[in-house]
Amino acid sequence: MPSEPHAIEAHALTKRFGDFTAVDQLDLTVETGSVVALLGPNGAGKTTMVRMLATLQRPDGGSARVAGHDVLTEADRVRRVISVTGQFAALDKNLTSIENLTLMARLRGHSRAATRTLVDRLIERFDIGEFRDRLVKNLSGGQRRRVDLAAGLIDSPQLLVLDEPTTGLDPRSRRVVWSTVRELVAEGVTLLLTTQYLDEADALADRVVLIDRGREIAKGTPAELKTRVGEQRIDIVAGDSAALEQLEQLLGPSFQMSVAREQRTISIPAPGDVADLARVTAVLRDSAIAVDELALRRPTLDDAFLALTGHTASAEEIEADMAGVAA
């Protein structure tokens, strides 16, 4: 065994639900002290992957080690070094914030006295004081996430796993979670997070693994990924299909572009920012073609998919995954 094992080392990890393969031969390496994001749409297999690493689900194939411990044969040791919070590893909604934290600390083996100190410190650090005695079911999404994070950090885990930490949060609460996560990272916590948002992976992670249908499609630093996806683009939504054709003819000769016919949208890469936008508007200005919308956009997860796989994350897959999970 190497002197310092990786925080996560997974090889060809596979999980099937009946005919549906949720995670398909996925490799994943997370170096100690780094932040890795598993990025993918709903149903890509992110949560299943995390559940296997957290010893909550048995892989059907492949192997995984967390801090050097095998998730199958040394599950108990894995549970000691990992801490999972997020959509599936949640809080007891019928307990208050402080009761939840106290319970988790006590279950981790702390004495009553030690628990009190520990919980007080967490309450202060995550700014929970205001709602410490409120039942979790009555908390807002952002407040709940704070308690959730606090509960995940009771024992300074070697590896913190955050499963979709900001899904369903309003933008302000999202920022709060982000800044908390950044603080933790600055302290040297090793972090694996799953997210559906490209900007979240960009904001928090050192490395991103993009997955779809349980398979890895791309990995690299956020910067590398963005280069491959295209930095920014200009979206032009035509007023009707006739206008779309006119726009294609008008812009085709001077711009590299992709057309999404159903959305009546033309996308033009815009690495040059406003300068590119100005070039497009200059062409459009005199044309009198009906345009519904014209905007400079940052790449979304869908763009990444389109660029890297040639298809978007479709609704069918999501349904298939839901059916698989329910089975």
Partner 1 sequence: MSAHGASPQAVASTQSGPRRYLRDTGLLTVRSLRAIPRVPERLLDVTIQPIVFILLFLYVFGSAIHVTGISYKDYLFPGIIGQSLAFGIIGAGVATSNDMSEGVIDRFRSMPIGRLSIISGQVMGQFCEAALGMTIVVVFGLALGWNPHLTLAHGVELLALMLLGMFAFTWAGVLAGMLVRSPDAMQGIGFIVIFPLSFMAGTFVPIAGMDAVPRAIAEWDPIAALVASVRGLTQGVHTGGSWQLEHPEIAMALWCLLILAVSMPLAVRRFNRTLAG
Binding site for partner 1 (CB under 8 A): 15, 17, 51, 54-58, 76, 79-80, 82-85, 87-95, 99, 103-104, 106-111, 114, 118, 121-122, 125, 135, 151, 153-156, 184, 187, 189, 324-327
Whole-number minimum distance, CB 103 to partner 1, in Å? 6
Q: What's the rounded Cα separation, in Å, for the pair 25 and 300?
A: 26
**Closer to partner 1 at the Cβ: 120 or 248?**
120
**Closer to partner 1 at the Cβ: 15 or 219?**
15
SS (H, E, C) 166-194: CCCCCHHHHHHHHHHHHHHHHCCCEEEEE
Whole-number minimum distance, CB 114 to partner 1, in Å? 7
Place of tokens 């329910």: 326
Tokens of residue 270, six digits: 């815009």
**Residue 209: which residues within 8 A CB-CB, separation 6 or more?**
28, 36, 37, 38, 39, 216, 218, 219
Whole-number minimum distance, CB 207 to partner 1, in Å? 23
Judge whether 23 and 51 are in contact, CB under 8 Å: no
| Torsion over CA: 138, 89, 92, 116 (sign) | negative
Which SS3 state, helix, strand or coil, does residue 161 take? strand
Whole-number minimum distance, CB 77 to partner 1, in Å? 8
Whole-number minimum distance, CB 323 to partner 1, in Å? 11
- Cα angle, residue 301 at apex, residues 297 and 305 outer, rounded to 5°: 110
Residue 299: other Cβ atoms inside 10 A:
21
**Closer to partner 1 at the Cβ: 185 or 244?**
185
Whole-number minimum distance, CB 326 to partner 1, in Å? 7
Whole-number minimum distance, CB 155 to partner 1, in Å? 5
**Closer to partner 1 at the Cβ: 1 or 326?**
326
Which SS3 state, helix, strand or coil, does residue 69 take? strand
Tokens of residue 287, six digits: 């044309």
**Closer to partner 1 at the Cβ: 107 or 278?**
107
**Residue 179: which residues within 8 A CB-CB, separation 6 or more?**
none
**Closer to partner 1 at the Cβ: 278 or 325?**
325
Whole-number minimum distance, CB 300 to partner 1, in Å? 28
**Closer to partner 1 at the Cβ: 75 or 284?**
75
**Closer to partner 1 at the Cβ: 85 or 232?**
85
Residues facing 289 on adjacent strands: none
Q: What's the rounded Cα separation, in Å, for the pair 203 and 88?
A: 23
**Residue 114: which residues within 8 A CB-CB, separation 6 or more?**
105
Which SS3 state, helix, strand or coil, does residue 17 take? strand
